[in-house]
Structure formats: C-alpha cells, structure tokens
Copies of this chain bind each other. A is one copy, B any other.
Amino acid sequence: MAASTHGGRAKCLQRLVRLELPVPRTVALSFDAVNAIAAGETPDMSALLQPFGDSAVLCVRPSSEDPDWGGPGAILNIGMNDARYVELSDRLGKAAAADLYLRFVQSYSVHVARVDPDLFDDLSDDPVEALGEALAAYEEDIEEAFPQDTGAQLLEVLKSMARAWQGTTARLLRQAKGAPADAGLGLVVQEMALGLGTGVSGSGVMQLVNSDTGARQCTGRYLSQSQGREALNQEKDAVFLQKDDRGPSLQEMAPEAFADLKTYTKLMREKLREEMQSEFTIEDGKVYLLDGVRVARSARAAVSIAVALAEDGIISREEALMRIEPRALNELLHRQIDPEAPRDELARGIGASPGAASGKIVFTAADAQAADAQGEATILVRRETSPEDIRGMHAAAGVLTERGGITSHAAVIGRGIGKPCVVGANDITFQTKRKRLVFPDGRMFKAGDMITIDGSSGEVLAGEPPMLEAARDDSFRTLMEWADTTRDIEVRANADTPEDALVAQNFKAQGIGLCRTEHMFVDPSRLIAIREMIFADSSEDRASALEVLLPMQRADFTDLFRIMQGRPVCIRLFDPPLHEYLPSDRDGIRELAEALDLPVADVTERVEALDEYNPMLGMRGVRLGIAVPEIYEMQARAIFEATVEASHDGEAVVPEIMIPLVSAMREVELVKKSVDAVAAAVRTETGSEFTYRLGVMVETPRAALRAHEIAQHVSFLSFGTNDLTQMTYGLSRDDAGRFMSAYVQQGVYPEDPFHVLDVDGVGELLEIGAKRGREAAPELTLSICGEHGGNPESIAFCRNAGFDYVSCSPFRVPVARLAAAQLAVKDRVT
C-alpha cells in the first residue's frame, strides 16, 4: 500500500499496524476504488464488512496523498441502529448508547442525507429523548425511517464522501495547495474504539514536542467520554496529559494508559522517522491508536525537530537539512505578527523585506529620526525612498512606500539593514503633503497614528497586534553548521557599512560580495563634499573636494577589512548618477546655494543640467568614472591605504575592486590603467607591498555578450542581476511595481523577474557570460551579487553554471547557506 494509491493516512496506519501498535481493525479503499464509487459502482459490501464482524461500530476517514489537500470530514459510529442501541445500552449504559446513536444520526443526516441542520438545533439535553427527536426529524424530512442496515449505511457514507471529493469547491481548494487535477482520495474504514461508556473512556491527542518552540515537552489534551478530536475542540473540559499543576491530568487518571501512549508515540517517532502526533481513544482503560499525523510546527520548531531527530540518530544530518524549507528560516530571523492574533488589515502591498514592525506613522526621514531620539517606534511612510532617506530608514522600525517593487531602493536597503519594508502599496492614497494615508475602505490615518506592517506578507494593519520575537537558537546554529560542512558554493553578503558587515560576519558570510560605496556618502558632512565636487569647474577643484572624502572613505574601508578579518571584501566603485546627490526642491536648492556661496540660478542650472530622462541608462557607473576620473582615483587610493593599514594588524588584506555598468572592454582598460597607477603610487608612498583583484560587475547585456574580451583584463566577473534584468526586459524595477502584480496574475510573466531569476532570458546571458569569460580566462572567479543571490532557485542556477559564490543581503545569508547545502545533498543522492 502506498500513499500514491491509498493516501497518506492509509499508508501510515499500515505502518502502525506493522509496528504492532494497538490500531483498531482497518480496511483501506484505494483511489481507484473510491473513484469507482463516485462513478456509481457499488463495491462488494459483504467482503468489505467481513473483517469487522457483525456487531462492530465503524468510522470512515479520508486519506488523500498529501494531508494538506483536505478531504471530506470523517463519519463516526456507522453501524449504530435500533438493535445495536439496545445492545450497547446493556454494555455502556443507556445514556452513552443513546449518545453514540444520536451522534451518528446527526452526522449521517447532515453530511450524507443532506437534511437541514437546523432541524437538530433544539434537541433535548437528555440523550435518550434527543435521540427520539433526531430520528423523528430525519423521518419527517426524508419521508423514510432512519436506515438500520450497517452495509446500507456504510455504502451511503462511502458514496457521499467519494462525491464530495469530486465537488468543484473541494477541487479548487486542493489545487490551490498544489494538488494535481486528478488527485485521488482513499478512504479508511476502521472499527471504532468508542470512547464512551464505562471505566476510563475518552479520546485525545498526544505529541512530545511543543509545536511553537520545538522544545521536548509532552503536550496534548484528553477528554473523558469523547470521540475523534473533540478534546481539542472542547478545550475547557479537556485535561492535560502529563501531570501538571495547572489541573487534572491523564497521567493521574490512568497512569498505565498514559505510559503506554507515551511509549507508542516515541516508537512512532523512531520508526516513522518523524515527530508524530498520536490520535487515541481509551475504551474502558485500554488505549487504541486511531491515527498518527505529522506534528504541526512553526519554522522554529521544525528546525529543532529536524536537528533533534538527527542528533538522536533517527535521521541523517543530510536528511535534517533537506527537511527545512530555506525560506522558512526568515521566520526565525525576524519578528513576526503572532499568527493567532486578530489582524485588522488596512491594505496590502509587496512584502519587500521580511519581519513585522509597529510604529507611529511619520512622513519624513527627519521625523523618524526625531521620534527615534525620543525612543518612539515609527513607520516611515514615503512615496519612494532615496539615498537621503537612509538615515531615516535606520531610525524607523519599518518602511512603507507607495511605489517600487521587490528591488526598489526601499526594498534593497530594507533587506540590507534587516528593516521590515512594504513597497508598492498603491491601493493606499498617499497624501504626503497633508500627512495622511487614505486606505481602500475609506479609513484615514494621520501622522502619529499607530500602524503595523508585515514585510513578509505585504500586509498593512491598524494598531499594534502582538508579536513573536526572532529566535535563533542552538538548533538553528547547529543546522547552519551542518549546512556549511555540506555545501559546495560559497555565500557572501552584500554589505555597505561596518554595521552591515557585522551582521554579515554574525551570519557567517564568507566575505563581502558587494560593498556599494555610494551609501557611504549620505552623511551630511560627506554630502556637502560630494556637492562641492559636482560644482567644481576644474579637475584640481574636483580633486580637492574629493580630498575631504579620502580619509572618511579610508576609515570606512579599514573598518570593513578589520571586521571581515581577512575574508574577501569586494568594493564596487561609485555607481549612481550625480544628481542623486543634489536637492530637487526649491528649499534644498536655496540651502545648497548658500552653502556653496553661489547664486540660486547657477545651482538650479547645474541641477537641471544633470537631470536625466532615464537615469538608469544615463551618466553613471563606469561612464562617470571615465568622465570624472578623480572619483575613482580617490576611491582606489582610499581602498589601498586602508589595505595597508588593516594589513598591519591582521591577516594580509587582498581587496577586490569592482567596476560598475561596464558595456565595453575599453572601459575596463581605462579604469584598470588608472587604478594600477594609484596602487603603484600608494606602494611607493607607504613602502608596503599589497595585491588587489580587479573585476567587473556584469549588468548590461553587452557586458555578458563580450565577457571573453572583458575577462582578459580582470580577475572576476560578478553578475548584477538587478540591472541585468532591467536591461534584458527593458523594464525599470522602480516603475515595474505599477503593473508587475497584474502581469504575474495574468501569467504574462510566470514570476516577478526581479524576485525570481528569469532563467530563460537573464539566465541565458549569465550562462553566456560565464562560458565566454571562463573560456578566455579559466581562473576567472564568477559570482552573482544581485538581489537574486539569496534566492534558492537562483543559487541552484548559479551552482549549475559553475559559479564560485553568491552574494546576498546579510539577513538572507542563512537562507542561502541552507539552500546551497540542499543542492549539494540532492546531487549526492542522485
């Protein structure tokens, strides 16, 4: 019997029987058999009933291939009729027998015969009277007496359940959970342990771990005189299992039954190699196991359970690694809204940086910083964010933007600093000047009102629901260690600041794969130097404005090198268009004119002159580096001087310098010449020897196509898949948010290509670039440093393409480490 022919429940029960656990007699109907019943065929009822004997009371439960796919509810107490009522009255007492019969009449009437449930609303409290009323109600509605033959009852139950599985609603629901169109239903016919009657009788569930924390702890409930999962549904009447000072327990009521149960549950864990929940009935003191199901678990518990199973030698470490969905680790790494808490949803955007945060609404970065200084949590609300907002983003608890997609500025920075972020919430009307938000249902929130965002789901909630804190426990660390010894592709982090680098180091990143130096210039004292540089008219003036930045940049890099302790640090040279550093509003321009002692008209003119139609495709990256060579020269000097400084007191540093937005080999030659010259000068000035590695960030389709030329001049190519995706699709990540969800819903794109690497298009350019690059330079280091770097599917792609490492946001490093380990395990198995 296999789960694929009879369903998971049937398969599990078969294994419990083989373990000689006290499972009541059971017969399983296969998918084919149930299909035949649904099609109108009648099974051989006498053969079906034969194993159970004449007087058995039966139940039928669904058994689909995957328990998540659902199925019709179980029908219990089949076989109850007038005769058996009399018989059981003798054995269990009249009340218990009437209760059993009544339960069956009700569930048969409602679920099988489709009698109006309202007819059973006002039944007497006395079971015997109630039974009479229920039988009368059935007879009145159906105009026939309640069926008395067990075979006839069972056949109707089977038909009803088989047809329910075929219903449209059931089909759509299970397909939404990934079931195939032809998913089958098995049915399990089982003799009942009654749970009602004399002696210790009742039912319950038991598991040996805490579903939330994964701690080893006997949990569950037991309810006297009950059947099925009633103990869970009527919690106030149920008792604990293990002795506990909170109230009575099964252990005290029936120590032997409790001990047996615990033994059975442990045995299931060992033999079924999984943490199981026992569903049991006690009939007159004797324990019956009706079913075993996989323990429900949080992500945190899943990690604990898998690690414990491996540590107990029940499964291998590889299997433990395979049992955790890498993305589920996000739940351990970030605060979550308590899943049990009620949610007052206001709107939904794109969940762009996981974790949840509550705070008062603020509309400017300055307000976020002011509130932070007062110790108040805020949600920074912006149409979109820009480099000027970064300090505000640090100060806020979370960020909500109207525009942008999964790789917009807010999203990238949010993930980088581990700050919850919801973007593209364009259902909300942002009245930023009037400092208020109007939500789709008409509710209006002002600055200072409390909201909560969930950066995983994209939800925006009113108020401040209860939270679950992040939990990186010992099991998590153990699992990560196993992942690291298993995987065969390196994982680095994208980290722009010493703070980021500390997080990266904490998450055991093997280096920094992308340090975006432009984020180092948002500090006001640096911003003014950048602006002076922009307004300088001669190369000398530019160089002297940049000289102010040199010691700051040198300190940045020295810090980074020290934190990374000799691990590689890949620094991307200045990339953004210069106008990002200029104010765009009148006030800002006036202030800048004052600071630079220039007429407002001059400042306005320069700001307008630097304005671009398509900044993404404009004067930035290496184009700026060639047009204004002083910038790269200053940065190269800062890197090399920091290299010398950091190498004094630690391992020798070999910095990696990456050129952005390359589209032609000659660009690389020009920058290489200039950087080499700076290196030679610093060597002479300091009398220190050092080496460095130069590389190119492959972000344009042309750089990928010409990789064989470019590779002749560099040590590494790192694919910046954000920009490469933008250019391959002709699609700006900042503008795509407006229609991306509609596009994905209509299946125009199978996935948001900024979220999941587009293997067909962008992926082919990666493969072309990798192949041509390695052909020209076999020792070339290959990597990916776009937002896709932390994505399990992208990691698989890069590993297949022979990449050396992936680099992702620090908070995604654990996900990447686990995903990489799973790929290595899969390769060993196949």
Q: Is the CB of A705 within 8 A of B613?
A: no
Q: A728-B702, A765-B705 are in contact. Are A670 and B617 (CB under 8 A)?
A: no
Q: Give Cα A731 to B664, complex, Å.
A: 12
Partner of A761, one of B705, B730, B758: B705
Taking CB atoms and an 8 Å cut-off, the chain A residues in 346-371 that contact chain B are none
Which one of B618, B729, B734 contacts A702 once the chains associate, using CB atoms below 8 Å?
Answer: B729
Does A667 touch B at the CB level, under 8 Å? yes
Residues of B within 8 A of A588 (CB): none
By a CB distance below 8 angstroms, the chain B residues around A612 are 732, 734-735
**Interchain CB contact under 8 A, B738 and A619:** yes
Query: A616 at the A/B interface (Cβ < 8 Å)?
Result: yes
A614 at the interface (CB under 8 A from B): yes
Contact check, B666 vs A749: say whether CB atoms are below 8 A apart.
yes
A764 to B772: give the CA distance in the assembly, Å: 14
Q: Measured between alpha carbons, how far is A388 from B403 in the docked complex, in Å? A: 28
Residue A746, interface by CB 8 Å = yes
On chain A, the number of residues with a Cβ less than 8 Å from chain B's Cβ atoms is 48
Q: Per-residue 0/1 for A416-429: is the Cβ within 8 Å of any B Cβ (1 yes, 0 no)?
A: 00000000000000
> Considering only CB atoms, which chain B residue lies closest to A709 in the complex?
B760
Could you tell me the distance in whole angstroms from the C-beta of A768 to the nearest C-beta in chain B?
A: 9
- Expressed in whole angstroms, the minimum distance between the Cβ of A325 and any Cβ of chain B is 28
A735 contacts which of B619, B705, B747 (Cβ < 8 Å)?
Answer: B619
Contacts of A666 in B (CB 8 A): 746-749
A742 touching B618 by the CB < 8 A rule?
A: no
A701 to B699, CA, bound (A): 13
Docked-complex contact A627 and B735, CB < 8 angstroms:
no
Q: Is A706 an interface residue (CB 8 A)?
A: yes
B748 pairs with A670, CB closer than 8 A: yes
Question: Contact at A701–B761, with CB atoms within 8 Å?
Answer: yes
Contacting residues, chain B, for A614 (C-beta < 8 A): 614-617, 732, 734-735
Determine which of B613, B661, B734 lies in contact with A616 in the assembled complex, contact meaning CB atoms within 8 Å.
Answer: B613
| A636-683 contacts to B (CB < 8 Å) | 661, 663-664, 666-667, 670
Inside 8 A of A701's CB, which chain B residues have their CB?
Answer: 701, 727-728, 730, 761, 765
Residues of B within 8 A of A520 (CB): none
Residue of B nearest to A731 (CB): B617
Of chain B, the residue at the smallest CB distance from A661 is: B730
Minimal beta-carbon separation of A592 from chain B (angstroms): 20
Q: Identify the closest chain B residue to A726 (Cβ).
A: B617
Inter-chain contact A613/B742, CB cutoff 8 Å:
no
Q: Are B747 and A705 in contact (CB under 8 A)?
A: no
The residue on B at minimum CB distance from A667 is B748
- Chain B residues with Cβ below 8 Å from A723 are 730
A822 interface hit (Cβ, 8 Å) = no
Taken together as a complex, chains A and B put the C-alpha atoms of A681 and B375 apart, in Å, by: 66
Q: Is the CB of A743 within 8 A of B617?
A: no
**A734-B613 CB under 8 A given contacts A663-B729, A747-B666, A760-B705:** yes
Q: Say whether A728 contacts B746, CB under 8 Å.
A: no
Report the Cα distance A702→B728, complex, angstroms.
5
Task: Give the most central of A728, A735, A746, A762: most B CB within 10 Å.
Answer: A735
Min CB distance A57 to B, Å, is: 56
Q: Kindly name the residue among A670, A728, A764 whose own CB sees the greatest number of chain B CB atoms within 10 A.
A: A728
Given contacts A663-B730, A730-B727, whether A739 and B705 have CB atoms under 8 Å apart is no
Q: Is the CB of A700 within 8 A of B613?
A: no
From residue A574, how far is it (CB to closest CB) to chain B in Å? 15
Interface members, chain A 709-743 (any B CB < 8 Å): 723, 726-732, 734-736, 738-739, 742-743
- With both beta carbons as reference points, the residue of chain B lying nearest to A733 in the complex is identified as B617
A627 adjacent to B742 (CB under 8 Å): yes
A322 within 8 A of B: no
Interface: A623 (CB within 8 A): yes
CA distance A543 to B36 in the complex (A): 52
Whether a CB of chain B sits under 8 angstroms from the CB of A37 is: no
CB distance from A682 to the nearest CB of B (A): 25
Name the residue among A626, A730, A731 with the largest chain B CB count within 10 angstroms. Answer: A730
Residues of A bordering B, CB below 8 Å? 612-619, 623, 626-627, 661, 663-664, 666-667, 670, 699-702, 705-706, 723, 726-732, 734-736, 738-739, 742-743, 746-749, 758, 760-762, 764-765
- Known A663-B731, A705-B761; 20 more pairs at CB < 8 Å: A613-B615, A613-B732, A613-B735, A614-B614, A614-B616, A614-B617, A615-B735, A616-B617, A617-B726, A618-B735, A618-B738, A663-B730, A666-B746, A666-B747, A670-B748, A700-B729, A701-B761, A701-B765, A702-B758, A702-B762
What would be 5 A-B contacts, judged by CB atoms less than 8 Å apart?
Answer: A616-B732, A617-B735, A619-B739, A700-B729, A727-B728
The 7 closest A-B pairs by CB, nearest first: A617-B732, A618-B735, A702-B761, A614-B732, A700-B730, A701-B701, A614-B616
